[in-house]
Amino acid sequence: AQKVTQAQTEISVVEKEDVTLDCVYETRDTTYYLFWYKQPPSGELVFLIRRNSFDEQNEISGRYSWNFQKSTSSFNFTITASQVVDSAVYFCALSDLGSGNTGKLIFGQGTTLQVKP
Amino acid sequence: EAGVAQSPRYKIIEKRQSVAFWCNPISGHATLYWYQQILGQGPKLLIQFQNNGVVDDSQLPKDRFSAERLKGVDSTLKIQPAKLEDSAVYLCASRKGQGALSYGYTFGSGTRLTVV
């Protein structure tokens, strides 16, 4: 069975602090995709990144960076120099290529990030 | 490119009433998903369509939920009769293909349902 765990329910930081959101996943498949989404108060899910299981290179995009470690089944997300606009709920998600390759996403419970001015 | 359109944006109904949600995916997207997001949880897949055929409805409570995708374009999700625990945001998403290499997932803004 596939599962995504985001152990941090809520995180509160002060603006300009760095913050890391943790994500641990479980899957029996050797080929899969991992995602991060942002859900601001308006409710839409905003795509941040997709990573396939064969690409363990870390990625940086502006103030965002992602650390994928297959050995620990983790895909952590770091925001550097956080800003108030980063306040949102962040979801980690898994999509495997089993089950007929349906592409369905399995989401974690989400981490609510509050960045205070 | 226009996004995934959903309506209504909000809906409040009494328990045992029926309700329907509508989704218009991105033009040309063959795969359409309905997810249910209960407050404080991540979205959970209810049903997936490939064109107008159902691919996965294993998590759909079929005694009260139904969905269709006529002509492989728009989709409607219905709840009849609604229960208090159906209060959630219903998200529609579409994707161009079904395979792993066609991952452009796009979500709509969702319909927030409150059952009182």
Q: Which two structure tokens, joined as six digits, stand for A23? A: 């994500």
Does the pLDDT value for residue A73 go beyond 80?
A: yes
Q: Is the pLDDT of residue A99 over 60?
A: no
Question: What are the tens digits of pLDDT across the range B56-105?
Answer: 999 999 999 999 998 889 999 999 999 999 999 999 999 876 655 456 68
Q: How far is CA B16 from CA A91, B21, B83, B116, in A?
A: 32, 16, 6, 10
Could you tell me what percent of chain B has a pLDDT over 70?
92
**Which carries the bigger pLDDT value, residue A47 or residue B36?**
B36
Residues of A in contact with B92 (CB under 8 A): none
| Rounded-to-integer distance, Cα A66 and Cα A60, Å | 7
Q: Which pLDDT value is given to residue A31?
A: 85
The pLDDT of residue B49 is 93
Extended beta strands in A42-117, E state: 46-52, 59-61, 64-69, 74-79, 88-96, 106-107, 111-116
Which residues from B are below 8 Å from A when comparing CB atoms? 31, 33, 35, 40-45, 48, 55-56, 89, 91, 93, 95, 98-100, 103, 105-110, 112
Instruction: Check CB contact under 8 Å for B42 and A47.
Output: no
What would the mean pLDDT of A63-90 be, rounded to a whole number?
96
Task: Supply A59's token pair.
Answer: 């990625």
Q: What is the pLDDT of residue B97?
A: 66
pLDDT confidence of residue B48:
93
Q: Do B55 and A45 touch (CB under 8 A)?
A: no
Label the pairing between strands A88-96 and A64-69: unpaired
Q: Model confidence at A23, in pLDDT bands (50, 70, 90)?
A: very high
Q: Per-residue pLDDT tens for A49-59?
A: 888 888 888 88
Which distant-in-sequence residues (6+ apart) come within 8 Å of B96 by Cβ? B26, B28, B29, B30, B31, B102, B104
Q: Which residues, including other chains, have CB under 8 Å from residue B101's CB and lie 6 or more apart? A: none
Mean pLDDT along residues B7-36: 95
Nearest CA in chain A to B89: A43
As a whole number, the mean pLDDT across chain A is: 91
Cβ of B42 and A107 within 8 Å?
Answer: yes
Q: For the purposes of burial, counting CB atoms within 10 Å of the CB of B53, is it exposed (0-12), middle (13-18) or buried (19 or more)? A: exposed
